[in-house]
Amino acid sequence: MKWRRAAKGFSLMETVMNMLLTAIVISIAMVMLSITFKIGFQIHSQLTIDEEIVKLNSNLKYIVSRNWTGLDLSEGLNDDTITLESRFPLIPEASVATITYLDGKLIFIYKESENTLTQMVVAEYLDQFTFYDLEGQYLYYRAVFEYRGATKQIEGAVRIY
């Protein structure tokens, strides 16, 4: 009896099965990776919005409560703009600044010197912003943030001294 030597390499069936298993493993890995990226982008969007909310609240508190002595409401309470005044007893003229909602940003505009107006972004990624009430010493505001499909609505108040 003669013994036949086995052929070296894979048969066609083994190669097809190998390719099929590899395709299944790669498909599962791609699905898991895409889910991970999707969740990561959602978390990043929410964290970005939360960061902007903190910036809005702390900047408004600092600007309105600490630096200015009153609001100019001669034209009533405008929905998206307030005018701030600062009067000191020894200086007859008032310093004036505004906080206004413009193109998705809340902007603080003030005079840095006699001839120079300066702008500072208080918060970004705003879809809507309104000042809606002045009650006692508190100025109330409402904001809707939008970043990469994620949205969040907040309400807040700033005390005016």
Strands 150-159 and 116-123: unpaired
Q: Residue 66: phi, psi to the nearest 5?
A: -100, -35
Domain range for 90 is 45-159
- 76 confidence band (pLDDT: 50, 70, 90): low
Q: Say if 59 falls within a structural domain.
A: yes
Asked if residue 106 has pLDDT above 90, the reply is: yes
Across 121-146, average pLDDT: 89
99 in a domain, yes or no?
A: yes
Domain total for the chain?
Answer: 1
118 burial level (CB within 10 Å; 0-12, 13-18, 19+)? exposed
The verdict on residue 72 lying in a domain is: yes
Q: Tell me the pLDDT of the chain averaged across its residues.
A: 84
Q: pLDDT band at residue 73, thresholds of 50, 70 and 90?
A: low
Residue 8 lies in a domain: no
Strand order in the sheet with 81-88: 70-71, 81-88, 91-102, 105-113, 116-123
